[in-house]
Structure 1
Amino acid sequence: MSTPYPTMHALSDFADAAAQIVGALDRADFFKVLGENLQQLFNLDNFIVFYFEQDCAAQLVHTNLDADELLRQMSPYVSGLYLLDPFFIQSNSIQTTELLNLDEIEPEGFRESEFYKSYYKFIDIVTELRFVIKMADGRWLHIFMEREAGKGTYSLDELSRLKSLEKFIDSVVSRHWTWRRIGESLMQSEKTPLGFGLRSVIGQIRGKTLTNREIDIVELIIKGHSSKSIADLLKISTGTVTNHKRNIHNKLKIQSQAQLFHYLLQDLFALGVKPR
């Protein structure tokens, strides 16, 4: 399907926005200006920028929301549960700036997962897009662009126009980041190392020892994969997945995915991941 040419009105709006964004380069309010212009162009509710560094807690760079309240709500996510986030998982395969759409990258069954129920539904977000920018190996910047319930999802035209901004976003954010030496500042600031590997926590959940295959199954369950998706990824039958799930439930003395997620959180909290 061919992409429609932008109207003169749309080009004029973008030109005005681009001029303001470029004018804010190397200024302390750069991300505020970027967010305000993207909000105006695309009718966004929430604009959030997080910095992720391998094996460290996420760091909030900017938001149009109350920062203290946002960090309180997202404390478990920031402290380490972002490892279960489809956007973060996708980051590892990104080599240049990309616009990611949750509707396109979420695994089958994700919206029924306890992670989604706990960390998406409570913020009443109807749709989420992110520009994911690779700053260096093991370091990423995520620009969250969210719409709350009542505004509807992004249209195909809006998605196309946002997609066309990838190179522009990459250029201005990378230049600003370098000129302000933000990366150096964040690397030198106090960080909270996660201090655990997700698989090692899963392997000892509730003090029980799971096999490598059972760890594979649990990791995919908590990331939101359905039995069929797990079977496809591990190249086993859905019947085998069901048998593994039954063994896991018996070993951990649980009866549901909700209990599995609950006990995983308990173990993570014991390792320093902060509850809400």
Structure 2
Amino acid sequence: MLDQSMRAEFWQNLAVAIAATGTDEHVDRLIDMIGAVVSPDLITVTRYSATRRPEFVKHRGYSEEMVARYLETYYVFDPFYAHWRGERRTGIVPLKSLASDRMKRGRYIAEFLAQSEICDEIGVLLEDGDDWCLGIFLDRSRQPFRDADVDLLNERFSVFAALHALDTKTRQPSYSRSATPTAPGAVPANGPVIAAALWPELSARELELVELVLNGHPTATIAARLGIASGTVKNHRARIYEKLDITTERELFLHFFHRSQPH
């Protein structure tokens, strides 16, 4: 349970957050409220899609260099991203609930979080329209989060979700919550490069197409980049899915995610 001073801070932040819905201050005030429940060392905010690559929103106390590294390289290994694409489930998601022994040796935890000097992470995943979610990530550099911290966030999650739903309803369809394309780290410069050994059953052309798919490009853009017709792209996709024994783009991403983890 929250002690009296923490409860007072929570209710104060809630009042401010309610007033901020529908304004540019919404996400910051939501962060303030969440931070009043469980204190992190730093915070990052990212949007996840079930069909497109992540978008950076903002951070507090984090490195722009590491934001750029995440968007250029590490997002494809992010277990929270895989969780959203595979489960489409909002809620409080501790890293430890996603981190198998294999995952702990993988590039997201062993490389990216280690380089970021992060020892533990909790995601607050909120519906953000269409197939998107807003992920507010609480990070600790020294001490991991306790089970009691997760319990406190779960107790308050319905409030976080209701506030964000109210904000989403007030937005115009053209509204973008993400950083502008000119902001540092806002748009990945490079996506994942697939080694031929990862999927030896695919041809070089098919691997090239898969890279573009994993980078979030739609069929029309892929066709333009490869100089082929949209129908040809769809035919390539069908053959790729048949070879990999999958049926959807979501499965393609998860297939890549699991193949890329060390055994």
Task: Letter of the 2:17 partner, please give it.
Answer: I
Structure 2 unaligned regions, length at least 5: 182-186, 208-242, 246-251
The answer to whether structure 1 residue 32 and structure 2 residue 28 are counterparts is yes
- Report how far residue 15 of structure 1 moved: 1.5
Distance 1:161 1:62 in 2: 24
Equivalent residue number for residue 85 of structure 1? 78
Distance 2:144 2:191 in 1: 37
Look up the SS of the partner of 1:106 in the other structure.
coil
- Are the equivalent residues in 2 in contact too, given 1:46–1:146 (CA < 8 A)? yes
The answer to whether structure 1 residue 121 and structure 2 residue 159 are counterparts is no
Look up the SS of the partner of 1:47 in the other structure.
strand
Change in CA separation of 1:109 and 1:8 when aligned onto 2, cut-off 3 Å: same
Equivalent residue number for residue 166 of structure 1? 157
Equivalent residue number for residue 94 of structure 2? 101
Count of equivalent residues: 214
Change in CA separation of 1:48 and 1:13 when aligned onto 2, cut-off 3 Å: same
Equivalent residue number for residue 110 of structure 1? 103
Equivalent residue number for residue 65 of structure 1? 61
- Are the equivalent residues in 1 in contact too, given 2:73–2:190 (CA < 8 A)? yes
- Are the equivalent residues in 1 in contact too, given 2:40–2:138 (CA < 8 A)? yes
Look up the SS of the partner of 1:140 in the other structure.
strand
- Report how far residue 114 of structure 1 moved: 3.4
Aligned match for 1:135, one of 108, 117, 128: 128
Distance 1:45 1:129 in 2: 12
The answer to whether structure 1 residue 179 and structure 2 residue 217 are counterparts is no
TM-score by length of 1: 0.62
- Report how far residue 200 of structure 1 moved: 8.4
TM-score by length of 2: 0.65
Change in CA separation of 1:114 and 1:63 when aligned onto 2, cut-off 3 Å: closer
- Are the equivalent residues in 2 in contact too, given 1:128–1:147 (CA < 8 A)? yes
- Report how far residue 61 of structure 1 moved: 1.6
Change in CA separation of 1:129 and 1:199 when aligned onto 2, cut-off 3 Å: farther
- Are the equivalent residues in 1 in contact too, given 2:45–2:134 (CA < 8 A)? yes
Look up the SS of the partner of 1:202 in the other structure.
coil
- Are the equivalent residues in 2 in contact too, given 1:56–1:193 (CA < 8 A)? no
- Report how far residue 94 of structure 1 moved: 4.1
> 5 Å matches for 1:1-276?
6-65=2-61, 69-70=63-64, 72-79=65-72, 81-149=74-142, 152-181=143-172, 184-185=175-176, 202-203=198-199, 212=244, 219-223=257-261, 226=263
- Report how far residue 106 of structure 1 moved: 1.2
